[in-house]
Amino acid sequence: MKNVPILAGVAGWPVTYSLSPVIHSTWAHRANINGYYIPIAIEPTEDDFRAVIAGLRKVGFAGINVTKPHKENALRIADDASGTAKSAGAANMLTFREDHIYADNSDVVGFANAVKDHTDQPGDHGVILGAGGAARGVILALKELGIQKITITNRTREKAEALAAEFGLAVVDWDKRSEVLDGADLLVNTTSLGMTGQPPLEIDLSPLKSKSVIADIVYSPLETPLLRAAKNHHTIDGLAMLMHQAVPGFEQWFRGNAKVDEDLKNILLKEI
């Protein structure tokens, strides 16, 4: 049976533009691993998700990454989950073990490692823009990085307040998003503002210290209006997180070495 290829993939709706197959194929090719990683389109209901997952298990998939809109479904249908996935309230990885499905969340370590690539000392104060699903993962990552004070701001203040109560954060009004940058060490955009087809994120970066780091989890376009305005600061783009979040899945399912480097980034840049 040694020629049976390893199967994995990414499930979402839509998944047509996912870069994950390129990332995993590149690593599989580098490590000479016999495996396939494919996009799997699953319509947005939990029933559809459950049905397709059952089929994937039956045909022998090792596991899958999960993206929008199924990250909460993934956690719900799993038999067991990591503490990170439970705290995030979402899973972007499902591993199919013999008798159960295990959910994990590598978005958290993905963002933390993207920051670590830039600095060993991310500072004491992080500011997060947005309070959706992506913000939850970033909050956990900032905590893992040892950032003491986290301030959150969101257009809909109640959503920021709910996360603040859950995770012990400070909240400021969306209208005060520039003022709160005074003294911040790390600014992270988790909103969809700046994404292709969305309005740009409007924010005055002048209160930031010159050594502060600015991160955007949006990767289409790679240079968002925020990152373009941040030319005088260290910046982290959305591809950094995307590449790092893929590492745990590749290591678990394909059992090979997954390295995030400039070569991989250049391959992805050709696909954007």
Mind telling me the catalytic residues?
71
Using CA atoms, how far apart are residues 76 and 20, in angstroms rounded to an integer? Answer: 23
Amino acid identity for residue 227 in this structure? L
134 binds ligand ATR (CB under 6 A): yes
- The pair phi, psi for residue 125, each rounded to 5°, is -125, 115
Q: Which of 6, 164, 193, 226 binds ligand ATR (CB under 6 A)?
A: 193
Decide whether 24 or 136 has the Cβ nearer to ligand ATR: 136
Per CB under 6 A, contacts with ligand ATR among 215-254 are none
Q: Is 43 helix (H, G, I), strand (E, B) or coil?
A: coil
Tell me how far the alpha carbon of residue 175 is from its chain's centroid: 26
Using CA atoms, how far apart are residues 249 and 266, in angstroms rounded to an integer? Answer: 21
Q: Is residue 48 classed exposed, middle or buried when 0-12, 13-18 and 19+ CB atoms within 10 A define those classes? A: middle
Q: Which of 92, 105, 190, 224 binds ligand ATR (CB under 6 A)?
A: 190
- Options 3-11, 113-121, 124-132, 165-173: segment touching ligand ATR (CB under 6 A): 124-132
Burial 83-92 (b: 16+ CB within 10 A, else e): ebbebbebbb
Q: Which of 9, 63, 126, 130 binds ligand ATR (CB under 6 A)?
A: 130
Q: Is 7 helix (H, G, I), strand (E, B) or coil?
A: strand
Decide whether 28 or 129 has the Cβ nearer to ligand ATR: 129
- Options 23-31, 38-46, 186-194, 205-213: segment touching ligand ATR (CB under 6 A): 186-194
- Options 98-106, 110-118, 132-140, 204-212: segment touching ligand ATR (CB under 6 A): 132-140
DSSP for 109-125, please give it.
Answer: HHHHHHHHTT-S---SE
Q: Which of 132, 146, 168, 200 binds ligand ATR (CB under 6 A)?
A: 132
Decide whether 50 or 159 has the Cβ nearer to ligand ATR: 159
Site string for ligand ATR, 82-121 (x = CB under 6 A): ----------------------------------------
Structure-token pair, residue 49: 């998700």
- Options 15-23, 26-34, 148-156, 258-266: segment touching ligand ATR (CB under 6 A): 148-156
Closest contact distance (angstroms) between CB of 91 and ligand ATR is 13
Number of residues lying near ligand ATR (CB under 6 A): 15
Shortest Cβ contact with ligand ATR: which residue? 132
In 168-229, beta strands by DSSP E: 170-173, 186-189, 213-216
Q: Do 131 and 119 contact (CB within 8 A), yes or no?
A: no
Using CA atoms, how far apart are residues 134 and 68, in angstroms rounded to an integer? Answer: 10
Tell me how far the alpha carbon of residue 262 is from its chain's centroid: 19
Using CA atoms, how far apart are residues 110 and 103, in angstroms rounded to an integer? Answer: 16
Residues at the site binding ligand ATR, with contacts judged by CB under 6 A: 130-135, 154-156, 159, 190-193, 199
